[in-house]
Amino acid sequence: MSTPTIEKSEPSPKDDAKTSRLWGRPAFFQSYEQELALFNTWPKRAGVALVVLVAFFMPFSLPDATLRSLALAFVLAIAALGLNLVTGLCGQVSLGHAFFMGIGAYTAAALSGDSDPEARTIGFGLQEIWIWLPAAGLVAALFGVIVAPIATRLRGLYLAIVTLGLVFLGEHVFREWQRLTGGAGVGRSAADPVLFGYDLRSPAPDGAFTSDQQMYFLMLVLLLVFALAARNIARSKVGRSFAAVRDRDMAAEMMGIDLPRTKTLAFALSSFYAGCAGALLFTITDYVEPGSFNLLLSVQIIAMVLIGGAGTVGGTIAGAIFIGMLPTLVRDIAPSIRFEVWGRVLEFSELPSEVPNIFQVEQILYGLLIVLFLLFEPRGLFGIWVRTRTYWKSWPFSY
């Protein structure tokens, strides 16, 4: 704390390492500081820059419907980053993410809702995104802290199923609390994405941007912010203590890490992410129904973290985009699946009354793709990346 000036005045080994770095073997760390840096190798820096650049230019080449799906996937990625903090980094598997997303969604919807006391649902008329977004995160984090004492007592599958119970109890409350949520089957409008008086959901007045493009940019920027924060948490003292708890909680305790405090912190941080993602997820359709916060949503987020693999930020985002875009992908490929049996081409019927029909094939494919992916690549997208990277790193001696 008190030594930054001294550090600057002396030629530190850090500067040394940076200036004298060799080219050619880019992925090797040459100092401890480098290993801990935000982007610890130059190919990583370049790669991230390229991806971000491409992401910012996509709205100019893709149709609105695809942008919409991508924007939804980005929000799901924020939720998955949150789950990654508690599951990937801290090793506590939580199936309760949908519950925290629900808390966030309704906090935001209530804050930004119509403040007319006669209105069907509660509202406070605070439409600015910089008010309701942090508020949604904070309220969800508060619930995370409340739940944590139960959660810190349990481990493994017990914890998973208890957090699942949270989802069922939460869904019940959401369905019954009609003043807040509009009730099951009726729902209410979600938070309004208003930034300094400008509603991002309505198209730009001069027609420069459609609402889908604007929402895409919003979600992209927010995803980058949350991803950067997650990466910074992971490489901080807190993140390292999470990893220690994951690897062996008793050993971590021996090293002086306060287990309940660390786990509570992990739950709070993860719930904060979930709350923000929940608040954002429904702004795209401007409609939120209490039945949305169910087991399926939780499982989807868990699948994102697992398919991404290995608890890295990039892997989680890639997993979220994969799972988020999978239904679209499946819808595109299902019609082209056909079998040839004894010279006869069999296609799936488009009539829903016939078995098997194309809509069933879509669902089956969705299930099977997840199974096949994990079967052949249990380490997820990260596993694929590691193999590719190793291949090139050790080239020409790769095997």
Partner 1 sequence: MKVHKTGIALAVLALVASGCRGGDDEGGSSAIDAPGVTDEPCENAVNEDNGCIYLGTISDLSAGPFAALGGPITEAQAAFWQRVNEDGGIGGYDVDVTSYVKDNLYNPETHATLYAEIEPDVLALAQTLGSPTTLAILEKMKSQNVIGAPASWTSLWGFEDNILESGSSYCVEAMNAIDYLQEQGGVETVMAIGFPGDYGGDGAAGAEIAAEAIGAEFVDFVETAPGQEAQSAAISAVVSQAPDVVVLGVGPTETAVIVGQAAARGYTGRFVGLSPTWNPALLQSEAAPALEALFTHAGPWGSFGTETDGHAAMREALPDVDPNDGYTSGWAWSYPLKAALEAWLDGDYAKTREGLVEAVNELESVDFEGMLPEEAGDRTGDNDIFTQSVISEVDPAAPAGLTTVQDFTAGPTASAHEFTGACFEG
Partner 2 sequence: MTQFLEALVRGLGIGSVYALLALGFVIIYKATRVISFAQPAFMLTGAVVTSYLTPALGVVLFTGFSFFLSVAGAALVTAVLALVIERVAVRPMVGKAVFVVAIITLGIDIAVRVVVTGYIGIGSRPIGFPWGIDTVELLGLSVQIRHLVMMGTVVVVGLALLVFFQRTPFGLAMRAAAFDQEAAMTQGISVGAVFATSWALAGALAAIAGSLLATGAGVDRQLWIIALIALPAIILGGLDSLQGAVVGGLAVGVVEQLVGTYQRDYLPWLGDNVASVAPYALMLLVLLVRPYGLFGTPEVRRV
Could you tell me which residues are beta bridge partners of residue 194?
128, 199
Nearer to partner 2, 193 or 311 (CB): 311
Give me the 234-273 binding string for partner 1, x by CB under 8 A, dash otherwise: ----------------------------------------
Contact set for partner 2, span 295-324 (CB under 8 A): 295, 299, 302-303, 306
Rounded Cα distance, 138 and 313, in Å: 22
Tokens (6 digits) for 342: 């004894």
Nearer to partner 2, 51 or 150 (CB): 150
Q: State which amino acid sits at residue 221.
A: V
Rounded Cα distance, 63 and 71, in Å: 12
How many residues bind partner 2 (CB under 8 A)? The answer is 44
Nearer to partner 1, 257 or 384 (CB): 384
Nearer to partner 1, 30 or 349 (CB): 349
Give me the 5-44 binding string for partner 1, x by CB under 8 A, dash otherwise: ----------------------------------x---xx
Tokens (6 digits) for 10: 């002396």
Question: Which residues touch 327 (CB under 8 Å, ≥6 apart)?
Answer: 362, 366
Tokens (6 digits) for 332: 């595109």
Contact set for partner 2, span 251-270 (CB under 8 A): 251, 254
Identified binder of partner 1 from the candidate list 224, 325, 369, 374, rule CB under 8 A: 325
Q: Please tell me whether residue 335 binds partner 2 under the rule CB under 8 A.
A: no
Rounded Cα distance, 399 and 391, in Å: 7
Q: Please tell me whether residue 124 binds partner 1 under the rule CB under 8 A.
A: no
In the complex, minimum distance from the CB of residue 314 to partner 2, in angstroms, rounded to a whole number: 19
Alpha helices, DSSP H only, in 235-312? Answer: 237-247, 249-254, 259-281, 295-308
Q: How many CA atoms lie within 13 A of 337 on its CB side?
A: 18
Q: Which of 68, 179, 58, 54 minimizes the C-alpha distance to 119? A: 179
Nearer to partner 2, 260 or 378 (CB): 378
Could you tell me which residues are beta bridge partners of residue 345?
340
Nearer to partner 2, 147 or 218 (CB): 147
Rounded Cα distance, 223 and 333, in Å: 28
Nearer to partner 1, 2 or 61 (CB): 61
Identified binder of partner 1 from the candidate list 161, 254, 295, 351, rule CB under 8 A: 351
Q: Please tell me whether residue 65 binds partner 1 under the rule CB under 8 A.
A: yes
Q: Please tell me whether residue 369 binds partner 1 under the rule CB under 8 A.
A: no
Q: Please tell me whether residue 179 binds partner 2 under the rule CB under 8 A.
A: no
158 contacts which partner out of partner 2, partner 1, none, CB within 5 to 8 A by kind?
A: partner 2
157 contacts which partner out of partner 2, partner 1, none, CB within 5 to 8 A by kind?
A: partner 2
Helix (H, G, I), strand (E, B) or coil at 341: strand
Q: Please tell me whether residue 378 binds partner 1 under the rule CB under 8 A.
A: no
Rounded Cα distance, 160 and 220, in Å: 30
Cα-flanking dihedrals φ and ψ of residue 128, to 5°? Answer: -65, 130
Q: Please tell me whether residue 389 binds partner 2 under the rule CB under 8 A.
A: no
Q: Please tell me whether residue 161 binds partner 2 under the rule CB under 8 A.
A: yes
Helix (H, G, I), strand (E, B) or coil at 164: helix
Cα-flanking dihedrals φ and ψ of residue 28, to 5°? Answer: -90, 135
Terminal alpha carbon distance of the chain: 48
Cα-flanking dihedrals φ and ψ of residue 172, to 5°? Answer: -60, -50
Q: Please tell me whether residue 375 binds partner 2 under the rule CB under 8 A.
A: yes
Nearer to partner 2, 46 or 150 (CB): 150
- Long-range Cβ contacts of 372-380 (<8 Å, 24+ apart): 373/307, 374/306, 374/307, 377/309, 379/309, 379/310, 380/306, 380/307, 380/308, 380/309, 380/310, 380/315, 380/319
Q: Please tell me whether residue 169 binds partner 2 under the rule CB under 8 A.
A: yes
254 contacts which partner out of partner 2, partner 1, none, CB within 5 to 8 A by kind?
A: partner 2
In the complex, minimum distance from the CB of residue 167 to partner 2, in angstroms, rounded to a whole number: 9
Site residues, partner 1 (CB under 8 A): 39, 43-44, 47-48, 50-51, 54-55, 58, 60-66, 68-70, 72, 120, 175, 183-187, 212, 231, 281-282, 284-287, 289, 291-292, 308, 312-315, 317-318, 321-322, 325, 327-328, 331-332, 350-353, 357, 359-360, 362-363, 381-382, 384-385, 388-389
